Amino acid sequence: MPVQTAQIRAMHWTDIPAVQTLERQLFPVDPWSVETFWSELALVPQTRCYLVATAQDDDAEELLGYGGVFTVGSDADIQTVAVSPQAQGKGIGRLLLHNLLDTARARGCSRVFLEVRSDNHSAVQMYLKDGFEQTGSRKDYYASGVDAIVMRKLIGGTS
């Protein structure tokens, strides 16, 4: 599915079953529950934005991926970015990330933070390539021997 044919739109509560199925596939160790997605969507638009990437296949809409950002004041935190295995490597992760960054910028945020597993090479590369810098790490944050890399990107303002 080339990125040109992917559509980005707001995540709706009706997306949650498909999103959570993909979540379990992509994060088998610690997937977010249906309840977590519900409670996150309850905070849209105040402090959250959740998006899905989709493709139209005849009459059906196919879920390609999803992502979310938490915004408060001048800071934002990327909550998640996830792309279905079949759609990976085609620019959809970057498309979701850019849309989340646009949202943070539009809400007046100047700093975007995230945490990523140190062994998640694809994600670390995606964030580095997009201008995120490592600002720290949290030892054994995800599991013994699996640190969290803390990253930050400045998207405007002075801090």
Where on the chain is the footprint of ligand COA (CB under 6 A)? Answer: 26, 81-83, 88-94, 116, 120-123, 125-126, 129
Q: Which residue is nearest to ligand COA (CB)?
A: 93
CB of 79 to ligand COA, least distance (A): 9
Spatial CA neighbour of 25 closest among 70, 78, 66: 66
Q: Which is nearer to ligand COA, 24 or 157 (CB)?
A: 24
Query: Tokens 């969507």, residue?
Result: 41
CA 51 to chain centre: 8
Question: Could you give the residue ranges of the DSSP H alpha helices within 27-156?
Answer: 34-41, 92-106, 121-129
CB of 65 to ligand COA, least distance (A): 6
3-class secondary-structure state, position 102:
helix
The token pair at 111 is 């700093």
CB of 94 to ligand COA, least distance (A): 4
Do the Cβ atoms of 127 and 114 come closer than 8 Å? yes
Q: Which is nearer to ligand COA, 67 or 109 (CB)?
A: 67
Q: Which is nearer to ligand COA, 104 or 123 (CB)?
A: 123
Q: Which is nearer to ligand COA, 91 or 118 (CB)?
A: 91
